[in-house]
Amino acid sequence: MQAADPTRIDWTTVSGHRAGRIEFKRLLQGTPGRPDNFELSLVRTFPDYATPRHRHNFDQIRCGLSGAMNYAPRKDVVARSVAYFPEGTFYGPQRMAGESLVFLLQLGGASGQGFMCYEELQAGHAALAARGTFAGGIYRAADGRPRDGYEAVWEHVHGRPIAYPSPRFEEPILMWPAHGAWVPSRGEPGVATKLLGIFSERGLDLRAVRLEPGAVYAPPPGAGARLLLVLAGAVRCDTQEIGLHGAACQAAGERICVSSTAATELLVIGLPVFAD
């Protein structure tokens, strides 16, 4: 099991292919090159952060913690909301009205194209910036042709045109977990869950979990990895303490025991499963 304590991680920047200020605390990472690769971060945006309308060849999940992270005109991820951005689905333009703080999970989608790790993103951005210009989320090389900044970097890193999967959804899916009822977990006193959704044949699974003080939650071993994000309170995963806005990764097939040291709420994400 991996665990991340945000108090021990510095804020940093990642690439510069978008416009404005956005900072990351990189919490947990998957394995580059695999279709189930992922990157989980705490992300804060500032009023000048902006992107054009665009899409990706990977999935994203954003969980609002404070402020409002805009993702399209009149559409925001705010505290206690969760948004799923499926691969191939357009969103934006993004324009921030103020600061925001979110959990951001970027991960390989059902098409199996995986997710380009941040190290590749930064190296690709640096290489392209040396021969062209990034401005407003758009890249222009010497020929002046405008291209989406992320798309340009991806194609440079991989040496081929990007192939977007056909969108399965018209737009990102914004969820309000507070509007659902808690269901007691059988055999786990003091534990309750809310299923938010299961997506695609790969089984991306989103659910909220609530633990009363002293309760014990034992997520069953699965065929894929599972992420546990602390939205409120604190837990102990086996021997590791995980506080507010920390996270843990339960590996495929791994057994873990999660005990609450205070009234706690988690966002639990079962990552998509790909055949070997």
pLDDT digits (tens, 9 = 90+) for 49-65: 999 999 999 999 999 99
Q: What is the pLDDT of residues 187-237, one digit of tens each?
A: 999 999 999 999 999 999 999 999 999 999 999 999 999 999 999 999 999
> Mean of the per-residue pLDDT values for the chain?
96
Tell me whether domains 2-158 and 179-270 share a fold: yes
Are the CB atoms for 231 and 266 separated by under 8 Å?
A: yes
pTM reported for the whole predicted model: 0.96
Are the CB atoms for 254 and 219 separated by under 8 Å?
A: no
Other Cβ atoms closer than 10 A to 254? 14
Strand order in the sheet with 191-199: 2-4, 247-250, 226-232, 264-270, 204-211, 191-199, 183-184
Strand partners, 183: 193
Between CA 84 and CA 111 the distance in angstroms is 16
Angle at 144 between CA 152 and CA 95, to 5 degrees: 60
How are beta strands 38-45 and 183-184 bridged, if at all? unpaired
DSSP symbols for 169-230: SSS-EEE-GGGSPPEEPTT-TTEEEEEEEEETTTTEEEEEEEE-TT-EE-PPP-SS-EEEEE
Q: Which residue has the tokens 């998957």?
A: 30
Q: What is the pLDDT of residues 151-177, one digit of tens each?
A: 999 999 999 999 999 999 999 999 999
Domain 179-270: CATH architecture, name and number where available:
Sandwich (2.60)
Does residue 276 register a pLDDT over 70?
Answer: no
Homologous superfamily of 2-158: Jelly Rolls (2.60.120.10)
Between CA 107 and CA 13 the distance in angstroms is 19
DSSP symbols for 233-250: S-EEETTEEE-TT-EEEE
Q: Where are the domains of the chain?
A: 2-158, 179-270
